[in-house]
Amino acid sequence: MAEKSKKKQLGQGIRALLANMDTEDEQDIQSISKELSKNVAMIPIEWIEANPQQPRTNFDKEAIEGLAESIKVHGIIQPLTLRRLSEESFQIIAGERRFRASQIAGLEAVPAYVRLADDQQLLEMALVENIQREDLNALEVAISMNRLIAECELTHDELSGRLGKERSTVTNYLRLLKLPPQIQQAVRDKSISMGHARSLAGITDLTEQLFVFNKLMSEELSVRKLEALIRLRHGGGTKKTKSDAGEIDPELKKIRDQLSGVFGAKVALERNKKGAGKIVIHFKNDDGLNHILDLIDNLD
């Protein structure tokens, strides 16, 4: 009984709006649609069903399980979009991968935008209006842009025209959604700027991306210094060190790069023909050392 009561409470945040959805007053419907389009509600998972018209039918099992692990740690950063069918029934418009991963992660409820079935034009107007707000962080702008493309079926060119922004600006914002969760969270918290995030998004290797991000955070790099670091690490005048001058086993290089990503610091790894060797983790100051020690203390 207590469990049922708990699940009822999860959806109460938008009940005041949903209760008025059956009104015949067009002005009320528009007002409710606009309000729902920009507010996030926690919807119980058992109230949600997949869209039978979903064009995508194949979902990578390993990718979904990986996303589930990320959700356990970081939660859902980008809310789902749902269509209300009845008081306790919602259908997925966008976010089925996040929905499936949330089920695996054992969540009872997920954050979601709720839409009326016929509010396409109103949604577009509300999202465009939302993007123009000055208090949004870069990730919130990116999420709103992505919703316009996915739910209103706009191309990048059409979206740039609607917003009065260059197409490259739209592309740069959307690239933020491909960043790993910890970097997205830093953008959301405004710990890093759009300029930082744009530079990080240009790094295609995840391990390298996380290494540079951790270095950015630990050393509080400016955008210009971050760009210089990325150029240096990707062949822009890099001097070869002793360990890099000769050939290194690809497997050892992979391990070295993974350790660099974990500790956010340069790591040297040497191993002789008998299998003996050493791992050296570099740091520049006491803060860097404390950061590494904290990471080691938190290892299971």
Q: Range of 292's domain? A: 203-297
Residue 71 maps to which CATH number?
Answer: 3.90.1530.10
165 and 122 within one domain: yes
- Reported as a single tens digit per residue, the pLDDT across 229-244 is 988 887 654 444 444 4
Between 273 and 74, the more confident residue is 74
194 is a domain residue: no
Q: Which of 219, 212, 227 is nearest to 264 (CA)?
A: 212
Confidence at residue 235, expressed as pLDDT on a 0 to 100 scale = 63
- Are 161 and 229 in the same domain? no
Q: Place 105 in a pLDDT band, splitting at 50, 70 and 90.
A: very high
Band (pLDDT 50/70/90 cuts) for residue 126 is: low
The Cα 44–Cα 111 span in angstroms is: 9
DSSP string for 77-102:
SS-EEEEEEETTEEEEEE-HHHHHHH
Predicted confidence at residue 104, as pLDDT, reads 93
* Residue with the larger pLDDT of the pair 189 and 258: 189
Compute the mean pLDDT over every residue in the chain, rounded to the nearest whole number: 76
Mean pLDDT of 267-278: 79
Q: Point out the residues that are catalytic.
A: 96
Q: Which of 120, 55, 47 is nearest to 80 (CA)?
A: 47
User: Residue 112: which residues within 8 A CB-CB, separation 6 or more?
Assistant: 40, 41, 42, 43, 48, 79, 80, 81, 82, 90, 95
Average pLDDT score over residue span 158-173: 86
Do residues 172 and 51 both lie within one domain? yes
- Residues 85 and 220 both lie in one domain: no
What does the alpha-carbon distance between residue 53 and residue 51 come to, in Å, rounded to a whole number? 5
- For the whole model, what pTM was predicted? 0.46
